Each structure stands twice: as structure tokens, then as C-alpha cells.
Amino acid sequence: MRRAQAIAAGFAVMALLAGCGGAAAPASGGTTASGAAAATTTGSSSAIPITFWDAYTGPLGADLQHLVDEFNSSQTQYQVKAVYKGTYPQVLADTIAAYRSHQAPDITMIFDVGTATMMDSQGVYEPVYKLMAQNNIPFATSDFVGAAASYYETAADHLDSLPFASSTPVLYYNKAMLAKINAQPPATWSQMGSVGAALVKSGVKNGFTIGWPDWTQFEQYAVWNAYPYATDDNGYTAVKGVQLLINTKPFVDHINQLAQWQKSGVFIYGGRESTPEPLFLSGKVGMYIDSSASYAAIAKGAKFAFGEAPLPYQNGDANAPQNTVVGGNSLWVMAGEPADVYPGVARFLQFLMSGPSQAYWAANTGYVPISTAGVTALTNQGFYAKNPYAMVAVKELTDKPALPTTRGIRLGDLSQIRDIENAAITAVFANKESAQQALDKAEQQGNAVLAKFASSY
Amino acid sequence: MLQATSPARTRARPAAAPATRAVFPQRALPLALALPQLLVVALFFLWPTYLALREAFINVNAFGLGGRFVGLANFAYVLTTGSYLHALGVTAEFGLIATAARMALGLLLAEQVQQVGRGRAIYRTLFAWTYAVPAAVAGSLWLFIFNPQVGMGGEILAALGVRWNFLLSSSQALAVVISMTVWQLTAYNYLFFTAGLQSLPEDVLEAGALDGAGPSKRFWRITFPMLAPTTFYLSVVNIIFVFFSTFATIDILTQGGPDNGTATLVYRIYQDAFQNANTSVAGAETILLILLVSALTAVQFRFLGRRGYYQ
Amino acid sequence: MRARRRREAGRHVLLIGLALIFLVPIYVAVVAASHSAGDLLAAFPYAPGGLLLRNLGRVLIAGFPNAAPVDRMLANSLVMALGISLGKLLISVPAAFAVVFFNFRGRMLVFWLIFITLLLPVEVRFFPTYQITAQLGLLNSYGGLILPLMASATATFLFRQYFLTLPKELADAARIDGVRPLQFLLRIVLPLSRPNLAALFVIEFVYGWNQYLWPLLTTTDTHYQTVVMGMQGMISIASSFGVPQWNLVMAAAILALLPPVLVVVAMQRWFVRGIAAGIN
């Protein structure tokens, strides 16, 4: 009797708890990115779903959704569902967590710095070049623009992921402000200083600011001026024993110079990623270094005429300007998904690299087309003739063939190294440490990260 | 939230044989009654703690592959690369300044409200409500107010001649973070001090008044010393709070930057576990934090056993 | 006499001044939420504009692109806050009752197993807890949002303390009258505990509503986003527009902070009682 009462009491509480857990079962499919929900119900209900995690919201999210919708309505067999997962680091973290709990998406968008982390985790993904071959879809590394291919290709020149959104840093400038001081957009860093100072003198609050400071002032700064960023061809030829070279003279001098300009108001540090953008849009600075992919957002937000110019280079260096490399992301196909998904994934990737898709993407976003078919399509449409600004990024990437040290940066846990670089430059700009001290420390911490990464593979 | 350390903990100083009003003889019934809670504890407390322990001694890559036993190597990495020790320093600095500011303001408010003749109930509402504001939302307000690009606070400070850029200056960033927690958590200290003041014996206070001592002298010589247990309790709770409940504030406002100037221990673990996908390192860091918080809690239990004047 | 009155006036001036300072951030949020995004870019407008209702309506119903609309987030927050507060009461009252009113084998073990959780709040062990929640398939679910946060013994401890203050004779009399333990709990102990139940409910509701880290980790599906964790996503989405949509972020912030603040203000007596539970 007593026992029965006990059991009943236990069950009553458990049942209530279970009610709470029962509600837990996710609604089928679960994911409803608000944009996707409205637009992608065209396919037949028997279509095989393909989940695609991305990092795009705002105008870029709408452009990506446009492509996804186009693919979905072009056939009835598959239904791609694009799911916004937050910022790039969040997508990588979510992908890893989901893989570890066996809930990975079919396709995931991994930013440039996550490339080595993915590539070295063999077994986690299906190499794209193999996937395409299995599904008899013509696919070669040479189908891609050189700079995009070289950034993502393996030592054996294969592409494990599909290069997708690719951009490169450029210099945006406020046309009226530069006209007022009678200046051309600066081509070199020393001109950056003089034009910046003239802007300040003319009444602008600060001369210039810099978006993505880690990416533009270390990685791209290195390749554009042909300074090695790390040993072993920036990590392309080795995993173990790679050492950073970011405390060498070219980097120290450059950060030092920026710190002095920061003091005099010529330069203002505005934060990581694209957070300094409002400074440019509100007219508090006259020049702004950021990704070419920020074009759409700037065009939408700027109430003034602005231009786009090549990234300044370091005068005095023989090879400068050399080439920039792409930043952005590539698409990885996760392993262990149901077999019937993969042919659809392959077709979707083929669609994304096609001339028309790439032309649409590049024309609307400011990204550069990654496939040669895309470049051809845009050229034939007369896009570059009408929009000369778009050539700036393409020329930076393709004018000179990359040297072994300027193909890209292939380091594990590169996002941590970026964190370290950011910590270092903020310490310098805040006058806490000298450039040499801060970069020496960053080099040491970065090398520890690299050694830790190598030891886990 | 502070709630997790709520005052209940101070009494969690169970005697060797926990007190009881045991009268019912049943054996299975009590187990059944406690079962749901035991299940939740086993699933979401004991098991995770075990996992953290295990993970701390192996080395796996981001995707959880290639795990092998490495002994104390993860701990060595954590303690030698400097960022964890740096985070410990940040946590301590944050903890001390924030605790002092919140307590001083809370005590001032409690003391002043206690003295006013009218409107105490209204003042209680006016000074208690901020405690209910979610830290992440308060952080969003602060982010907007002090944003160097669009912010009002930034504009005002710049007009006052401050080179305001909390994205760059770690001391400014820390000031922003601390001021936000002061805004939000003074309420807690205020309520606690109010309760403390109300429980002081009237006769002692009156005796002080008869001595003819001025109000401020009376406060420092009589009231404040008698509040010592409350003061001590609040200092420990406020410091412990900084150890594990500042995540939202920091994530919204600074992401631990600039120059890791606001990266507290919990934030560091988050970065290693989720952003850097370095689960082994995060495991070791979690174990170290557990040891640290346990030690602090032990101190709290030990000293708070000595209850003060009221009781 | 006059000196005393002057002192009283001085206190009111000080206190009202401080109370207003505490309100400044809310005023700023209201001003920002009542303008267009472009208005905020150049310089901060100190007076409210006319777009407050429009902006509130916009985030509430349409929301931000790629995020759930705020009404959905508010509903999720409500589920989470109620789930945690009621769930905690539901498991902690029986557990505290068992530990206090019975003398059974294993009582010590049960006691310690439960109260050891007081040592380590979820923030300290969030990472392994996340792994387990993932393994149990509870990511992106209400269960995942609620259950792990119930693994804390604060409520149990408070009830244990309270039950211990009940006179032993109460239970003795009940047993002698032949009242069964569960009847005793439901008819006598619970009605007596009403003030404590209310106090705990308020505190735990606010605790549940205000959770940030945990929902951030365990929900990647917009369907389950709560409004507090949603702030982070909304800020980064708002910043992805050339002109940051701070007006909408502030509108969402106002909506996110209103429910817990209203609960605390309306149930103030219980709230203060809960906060001061260690003292009274």
C-alpha cells in the first residue's frame, strides 16, 4: 500500500516533468529561417531536404536566399533549406558541436580561417572534388579563378571544399572629402598618412579607419607586400613546426606607424570586423579599408558619393603590390549524411559555381566571382564596363600570379591567432605596449596555439 | 544571475547529521519524492562534472577525434600560456572594484531610505527594479549608450575631453562593464542592507543617539560595525558573482576585449570551448574553475557560520 | 525642528536624483526606439521621436531578418521562465519534504547529492552540460532550455530551511491522527508555505527569463530563441546593415526587459522576501 503510494507519487512528478520534456521534441524539420519559410515552399512535398548552414543575414542573406530559391524552383527532386546560424565563428562552432552530437547539416559555410581546421579533420567531410567525380559532374581546380583556387586547394591541388563567397580588401573613400583637399585616393601607405592628415586638417574628424584589422593588416598586408606571414609557405607545406613571422620588421614598423597616426587622429581604430563602418557612413572619417563585399551595405547606407580604390601598399618593397588573397568562405559537405542527399548536394554546388549564379552573386554583393565561368558571364554582360569599381578587387587578386608565400594563410586555429593579433594591436593603439613588445608576445602566443593544434592531429 | 548564489547557500552548512523533523516511517515514499530531483542532478550535474574531469586529461581535436590520454598536459598548457592567469587577474580586478562600488552605493541608498520619513515603499520600487533587468538586455543598453560610433555617452565623454573608445582601451571597457553591473546589481545590495538595517536592535541605536554623537559618527561607530555580517556576506556573494555570472554582460559588450582586458575566467572557457573548439583545454579550465569556486564557497560557508547580531 | 526638515528634504533630493539616474538608460532606449535608424547615426537626439509604436510593432511582428519575430521570442522566454520556476518548485518541494519529514535509509546520501549542486552553478559547468544535453538530443527544444537549469538546489534548500521551522508537533499530531504523508504535504505544509512558494516563484521566474548563456548554446533554431539570448543575434543582424538598426534593437530591448521588471514590481513583497530569504 505504502509502496503503491510512493510509486504513484513518484510517477505523478515524473509525468509532469516528462510533459516538459515531451514538448521538447523539435517540430519536424524544426528550422524556419524566416526568409526561407516564406519562399521555399514551392518544391513538392516528397523533395529530399538538404540543410545548408550559412552566416548571411541582412542584404547578403537576401541575395543567398535568392540563389537557393532559384535552385529549388529549377527542379523538384531536392529542397535546399538555408539556415542562418549567426556569425562565421558561430557557424564553425555549431558545425563542430552538431557533428559531435550527430546532427550535422549537409552543407556548411566555413570562413577562410577555418579552412585548415576543417581540411585536417579528415573523415568529417566529403571532399568536394570526389563528390563531384562520383556524380559525374565536370569539376576541376582550374574552373576557378586562380586566387580563389590557390587559397583553398590542398597540397595535391584538389579542392576539398567549394570556394564560394570570395572578397578581398579594398579602400573606400568619400569622393567629396577627397575632392575638397584636391587629393587622389592614396596608393601607398605613406600617401595614406598624408591624405589622412590633410583630411583632418580640412575638418574631418579622423582620416581613415580599418575594418577587419586582423585580416587586412596582417594576412592581406603580408601577401599584398610579399612579406611571409609564417614559415613553411604560410603553413601550406607543413602542419607541425610552423612558426609565425608577424613580429618581423615589416609588421612591427607598420603597426608602429598606425599607432602614431592613431595618436595624431589621422587613423582611428573602430573595432573588429566591419564595426567601424558607421564611422565612414556618418562622415567621421574620409577613407575606410574593408572587404569588397561591404560594397552593398555601404552603397545602401552612404548618403554621399564614394569610390573604391586598391589597397595601399608599402612603397619601397620591390614586389609590392604583389597580390591579395580571397577572404570569405567555402562550402563544406559533411560526411555521414543519408546517401540519397549527396547527388542533390553535388547538383546544388554545380549550380552555385555556374556562370549565371556567380554573375548574380558578384553583381549584387561586391564579392568577386570565384569561377572563370562567372567572370566570363559578367564580362559578357558588360558589368565591368558599367561598374569599374568591381574590377578593383578582381585586379588585386589576379594581376600577378601568386608566389609560394602569397597563396594564402593555411594555419590551424587561425581564428585564435586573429584574436591574439587583435589583442596585440589594441594594446599598442591604447599605448600600453610598444609594437615590438606586443607583436613579440603575439608571436609567442600564436606559436603556442599552432603547436597545440599540431599536437591534436 | 546572482540568484544562483542566493542567500540560501550561506546556510548550506549542514551539520554532520542534517537536521530533521522526521516523523514518518515510510522508506520508499521519500525516495520516490526525491527521485525527480535526484535524476535531474545526476543527469545535469554529476555526469557533466565527470565529463569535464575526463576531458581535461585527454587531447582531442576540434571534431572530437583522436582522443588520447595526456596526463596533466592540458593543465600545463592552460597555466603556462598566460591567458588563463591573465583572466584570473581580470576576474579579480573586476570583482573587487564592482563589489566595492555596488556595496557602497547599496549601503548609501539603504541608509538614506531608512532615514526618510515618507515614501519608503516608493523608493524601494525605484531602487529594486534594475535587479530584474536581464544582464544581456542591460548590456545592449550600455553598448548603445557607450558605442564609439553612434553612442550618446561617447559623445558626451568626447565633449568632456575624454578620448573615448572602449573598443580600444581595456580600462575603459572594464569601466563600461563594471558600471553596467553596478547599475544592475546595486539593487541586490540595497535590499540586503535594508534588511540588515531593519534587524538591528533599536535600543543600541537609541543609546548611541543619546550619547549625542552626530549622525555620521553614529553610523560609522555603531551601525556600520553591527552590519558586519551583512557586509561580509555581500562581499563574498558579489565576488563569487563575478566568477560565473558575468558572461552575458561581457559577451554583449566586449567579447572579452580589447587586449583580453575584460576576459573573465568563465568567458575564457567559453572562448576555448566554443569559439576555439578546444574542448580539452576548456575541460582543464573548467576543473580549475571548479576548484577555485569551491574554495571560495568553502570560505563563505565557514565564515558565514558566525552569524551576526541579529538572530 | 527646521534642521530636521531640511535634512529630510536633502535626503529626498539625493534619493530622487539617484532614482532618476537609474532611469536614464531606459530613457535613452525609449528615445532611440522612437526614431529612425538614420536619425541616430549623426548625433544622438535627446528628445523622443514619433516612431516608438511603429518600431515596437515592427520588431514584435516582423522582427529582424533571419531571426524569429520578437513576439515568438517572448513566448519562448515565457515558456522557459515558467518551466524553470514551476519545474523547480515541483521537484524541490517533494525532495525537501522527503529529506525533512522522513527518516529513511540513504537519507544522508540523498541530502548530499542534492546539496552538492549548491557548490557549482551551471555557469561553471556549462560546457560539459552542453555536451550531455546534445547527447540526449535536447538541443533546440524546450526541455533542453529548462531541464538542465533545474539542477540546482537553491529552492530545495530554502524549503528545507522553512520546513525545519515548522513545529515538530504539527507532524506528530498529523501522524497520530492517521494523516498520510502526502495528505500532510498537500493539506497542511503547502498552504503554510504559500508565501515561500510565491517568493521562490518570483525569483526563479526572473532567473529563468534572464538566462542568456544557456539558451545561446543550446538553441540554433530560431524557433526556440528566447528574447534575452536573441539580443545578441539582433545586435549583429542590426549591425550588418550599413546604417546599424539601433532603433529596432532598443525597441526589442524594451520588450525584453518589461516582463521581468513588471513581475518584480507587481509582486514586490514576495520578491523582497525571496531576496532576503537568508536573513529573515
Span C233-255, average pLDDT:
90
Does B271 lie at the interface with C, CB-CB under 8 angstroms? no
If one counts the domains in chain B, the total is 1
Which domain range does residue B281 map to? Answer: 82-304
Helix (H) or strand (E) holding A208: strand A206-210
Q: Phi first, then psi: give them for residue A369, nearest 5 degrees.
A: -65, 140
Distance CA A208, CA A213 (A): 13
Residue stretches of chain A with pLDDT short of 70: 1-45
Higher pLDDT, B306 or C96: C96
- Looking at residue C150, its amino acid is M
Binary contact (C66, A61; C-beta < 8 A): yes
Interface test with B, best of C12, C18, C97, C102 (most B CBs within 10 A): C102
For C52, the grid coordinates are 516608438
Write the burial class of residue C51 (CB in 10 Å: 0-12 exposed, 13-18 middle, 19+ buried). middle
B232: Cα within 13 Å, side-chain hemisphere: 16
Distance CA C187, CA C199 (A): 20
Chain C 218-237, residues with CB within 8 Å of chain B CB atoms: 228-229, 231-232, 235
Does A318 lie at the interface with C, CB-CB under 8 angstroms? no
Beta carbon pairs, A and C, within 8 Å: 123
How far B74 CA sits from the closest chain A CA (Å)?
10
Asked, for residue B8, whether it belongs to a domain, the answer is no
Binary contact (B293, C29; C-beta < 8 A): no
Chain A 33-92, residues with CB within 8 Å of chain C CB atoms: 33-35, 56-62, 83-87
Asked, for residue B235, whether it belongs to a domain, the answer is yes
Residue B11 has pLDDT above 70, yes or no: no
If one counts the domains in chain C, the total is 1
Query: Chain C residues with CB inside 8 Å of B243's CB?
Result: 124
Q: Please tell me the predicted confidence (pLDDT) of residue B300.
A: 66
For residue B11, the tally of other CB atoms under 10 A from its CB is 17
Residue-averaged pLDDT of chain B: 83
Residue whose C-alpha cell is 548611541: B208
Asked, for residue B104, whether it belongs to a domain, the answer is yes
How far, CA to CA in Å, does B263 sit from each of A111, A453, B271, C266? 24, 22, 9, 36
CA gyration radius for chain C?
24
For residue A396, the tally of other CB atoms under 10 A from its CB is 26
Q: Please tell me the predicted confidence (pLDDT) of residue B307.
A: 39
Domain harbouring C251, CATH code: 1.10.3720.10
Contact in structure between A273 and A212 (CB atoms under 8 Å)? yes
Does C260 lie at the interface with B, CB-CB under 8 angstroms? yes
Query: Chain A residues with CB inside 8 Å of B82's CB?
Result: 445
- Looking at residue C54, its amino acid is R
Chain C 168-197, residues with CB within 8 Å of chain A CB atoms: 180, 182
Does A9 lie at the interface with C, CB-CB under 8 angstroms? yes
Asked, for residue B244, whether it belongs to a domain, the answer is yes
Q: What is the dihedral of CA A137, A141, A144, A149, to 10 degrees?
A: 140
Higher pLDDT, C223 or A185: A185
For B186, the grid coordinates are 546595486
How far B256 CA sits from the closest chain A CA (Å)?
10
Query: Chain B residues with CB inside 8 Å of C199's CB?
Result: none
Q: Please tell me the predicted confidence (pLDDT) of residue B16.
A: 45
- Res. B303 pLDDT band, cuts 50 70 90: low
- Res. C256 pLDDT band, cuts 50 70 90: very high
Task: Specify which residues A210 forms β-bridges with.
Answer: A289
Domain harbouring B252, CATH code: 1.10.3720.10
- Partner residue facing A413 (CB), from B77, B82, B276: B276
Domains and CATH numbers, chain A: 45-167+326-389 (3.40.190.10), 169-324+412-455 (3.40.190.10)
Q: Please tell me the predicted confidence (pLDDT) of residue B8.
A: 37
Q: Please tell me the predicted confidence (pLDDT) of residue C4.
A: 80
Q: Which chains touch C (3 or more CB pairs under 8 A)?
A: A, B
Does A100 lie at the interface with C, CB-CB under 8 angstroms? yes
Contact in structure between C140 and C218 (CB atoms under 8 Å)? yes
Find, among B63, B62, B64, the residue nearest to B276 by Cα.
Answer: B62
Binary contact (C242, A13; C-beta < 8 A): no
Q: Phi first, then psi: give them for residue A268, nearest 5 degrees.
A: -130, 130
Q: Beta strand pairing status for A78-84 and A306-309? A: unpaired
- Partner residue facing C241 (CB), from A101, A275, A297: A297
Nearest chain B residue (CA) to A413: B276
How far, CA to CA in Å, does A355 sit from each of A63, A363, A378? 16, 12, 8
Helix ranges (DSSP H) in chain C: 2-33, 37-42, 52-57, 70-101, 107-115, 126-135, 142-146, 154-165, 168-176, 181-183, 190-192, 194-209, 213-218, 227-239, 246-266, 268-275
Asked, for residue B47, whether it belongs to a domain, the answer is no
Q: Please tell me the predicted confidence (pLDDT) of residue B233.
A: 82
Query: Chain A residues with CB inside 8 Å of C241's CB?
Result: 58-59, 297, 300-301
Which domain range does residue C218 map to? Answer: 2-278
Does C207 lie at the interface with B, CB-CB under 8 angstroms? yes
Asked, for residue B53, whether it belongs to a domain, the answer is no
Residue B95 has pLDDT above 60, yes or no: yes
pLDDT per residue as tens digits for the range C131-159:
888 888 888 899 999 999 988 788 888 88
Distance CA A108, CA B64 (A): 18
For B81, the grid coordinates are 600560456
Asked, for residue B220, whether it belongs to a domain, the answer is yes
pLDDT per residue as tens digits for the range A229-255:
999 999 999 889 999 999 999 999 999
Distance CA C9, CA C3 (A): 10
Asked, for residue B125, whether it belongs to a domain, the answer is yes
Does A1 lie at the interface with C, CB-CB under 8 angstroms? no
- In this structure, of B19-23, B184-188, B191-195, the range with the lowest mean pLDDT score is B19-23
Binary contact (C90, A16; C-beta < 8 A): yes
Binary contact (C108, B18; C-beta < 8 A): yes
Chain A 240-299, residues with CB within 8 Å of chain C CB atoms: 274-275, 277-278, 281-282, 297-299
Span B25-52, average pLDDT:
89
Q: Please tell me the predicted confidence (pLDDT) of residue A361.
A: 94
Task: Specify which residues A108 forms β-bridges with.
Answer: A53, A332
